[in-house]
Amino acid sequence: MDSKHSEESSEVVHAYLYYLQEMSRKISLRTGMENTLYGKTKKSPHYYRPFEDADVDSQYLRDVRNYLEKESDRQLFLGNGLIAGSFKKKQVKKYVAAPLIYFLVKTDLDENGRSLTYSIELDSVSLNYDLITLVLEQDLDEEEDEGMGFQSAGVDANKLEVLEDIENSLEDILRHESVKLTTNSLADQTFRRIHEKIPEFNQIHPSTEDFTLQKLEKLGTVELTFYNHRFFYVASSPGQLSTYTALRKLISEVS
């Protein structure tokens, strides 16, 4: 096989892998990631913890790990940027308390085998499409959007282009400056891009206050608000996330 043909074949493989990656994101079904904190019960606790508490104690990680060992469909995440509040959709109040960007977090024993530590899987970085879809679908009937994924939400080309540009930016940062993915500035910049270019997000205003769990007590009386806040939480794992991350790794390996 000559070099030109080999190069063309490689380009076809890359294009197909990118296509599969995009499809794994767009056809995702709702997994509840639009509300990860509000109204949770003892059976499905959120295990919220501010990321700003730099020294995450081993007891917190142990509690989370013990819980996840019994709940295999749930995982620990890091959220970067938080949108919280409520709105009415066809006279039904919807509650939102969810990250704008999220990552999978793994726990493991330290090198001495005595204390638990955590690691953020940066290559799992994802925009929260459950949250984005909910905001974009506010004017649809309940029957119309029941169980719909992002691909089915009727997102017009201009809005889709904005989101794809942001995805490409995240991919670029992942490849060249991955440590920036978990910074406050990235969440703020991402929110401002969406807020400026997608009309449905104009109603969401940035807060100058710090987020605390106490704010959830009045969630039903507060309009959707963006907090530049980073936090750990436990939630059901989006089914498409493992596929999306695996394809991202494969694309990187064959590049």
Asked if residues 203 and 223 have their Cβ atoms less than 8 Å apart, the reply is yes
Closest by Cα among 14, 25, 16 to 252: 14
Write the DSSP string, 104-133.
EEEEEE-TTSSSEEEEEEEEEEEE-HHHHH
Asked if residues 234 and 46 have their Cβ atoms less than 8 Å apart, the reply is yes
pLDDT band at 10 (very low <50, low <70, confident <90, very high): low
CA angle 79/81/85 to nearest 5° reads 105
217: Cβ contacts below 8 Å, ≥ 6 apart: none
Averaged pLDDT for residues 192-200: 94
The pLDDT assigned to 14 comes to 47
214: Cβ contacts below 8 Å, ≥ 6 apart: none
Tell me the percentage of the chain whose pLDDT exceeds 70.
72
The reported pTM is 0.80
Per-residue pLDDT tens for 68-117? 999 988 999 999 999 999 988 777 889 999 999 999 999 887 777 677 88
Higher pLDDT, 59 or 190: 190
Domain chopping of the chain, boundaries: 1-28+238-255, 31-236
Instruction: Say which amino acid occupies 219.
Output: L
